[in-house]
Structure 1
Amino acid sequence: MFIRLPSVQRLSFTTLSVLHTLAGRGPRRLTALAAGEQVTQPAMTQMVTKLQRDGLVERRADPSDSRAVLVHITAAGAAVVQGRRADRVAHLAELAARLTPGEWAAIAAALPALRRLVDADRRKQQQKGP
């Protein structure tokens, strides 16, 4: 449902996922982005080239390996991510206003388990590395 919620800017799911990854996890190599999105490196190179042309990302030399490049999100790219997040929060708030007190209680009771899932995923991602 979260993916289907309306968005401010019409971009492909994979493109938006790349922007969200860069905003949330910081700069990444093209190979890491391609692996994370399960696309080929040439496809990711094309996507990053388009995002760069649109001013949403930029490429910079990797300080740990001068032969490699890191993809960074720009202020404009971060604004797209923030705009989408604000749009979705507003939409979810509108939907949540329709819940009964009992439904709110059920959600509140589920929050500790959901937090554990998020924390477990975060630890798993950190173990994988960039």
Structure 2
Amino acid sequence: MSRTAAGTLSALDRHGPSRVSDLTRLEAVGQPAMTGLVQRLEATGLVSRTSDPSDRRATLVAITDAGRSALAERRRSQDALIAARLGRLSPDRLDALGHAVDALVELTQEDHDQPH
């Protein structure tokens, strides 16, 4: 599964049914690329498309149970890969990485605390 496919499934899992145009913005890809991706995900049963009840001209894309299962499997696989790679680091490097992550979380939190 590509990163964009995983990101799209993750966005649908988080945000619920969405228009292709919304997914295009969330994943920062072009409309034709997202349309093609949604078609492939639908063909494999990972998403479904329905009419938007607020605008019958538009279509909503939703993650299916199979899509949630595939996303969960990808996350497990990625977690295992990261854990294996982290296991090769020395304790000092792991400690430094932990401090760097803490700093990034603080910076991110500062961004969320700022009014827009």
Deviation at 1:61, TM superposition (A): 3.3
Structure 1 residue 20: deviation in Å? 2.4
Q: Is the contact between residue 61 and residue 69 of structure 1 (CA under 8 Å) also seen in structure 2?
A: yes
Is residue 62 of structure 1 aligned with residue 52 of structure 2? yes
Q: How many angstroms apart in 2 are the aligned matches of 1:102 and 1:39?
A: 39
Letter of the 1:37 partner, please give it.
Answer: E
Q: What residue ranges of structure 2 are gaps of 5+ in the alignment?
A: none
Find the aligned partners of 2:107 and 2:19 in 1 and give their Cα distance. Answer: 27
Residue 89 of structure 1, CA deviation: 1.0
Question: Aligned pairs, how many?
Answer: 114
Residues 26-70 of structure 1: per-residue CA shift (max 9 Å, x gap) = 322111112333333243223212211210001233344444322
CA positional deviation for 1:82: 0.9
For the residues of structure 1 that align with 2:41 and 2:49, how far apart are their CA atoms?
A: 10
Distance 1:33 1:99, change over 3 A: same
Quote the residue 1:5 is aligned against. none
For 1:68 and 1:120, the matched residues in 2 are separated by 37
- One-letter amino acid matched to 1:46: G
Q: Does 2:85 match 1:95? A: yes
SS of 1:39's partner is: coil
CA distance in 1: counterparts of 2:70 and 2:108, whole angstroms: 24
- Asked if 1:85 is matched to 2:79, the reply is no
Equivalent position SS for 1:82: helix
Identity of aligned residues (%): 40
Secondary structure, counterpart of 1:16 in structure 2: helix
TM-score (norm 2): 0.76
Are the structure 2 counterparts of residues 117 and 28 from structure 1 closer, same or farther at C-alpha, using a change threshold of 3 Å? farther
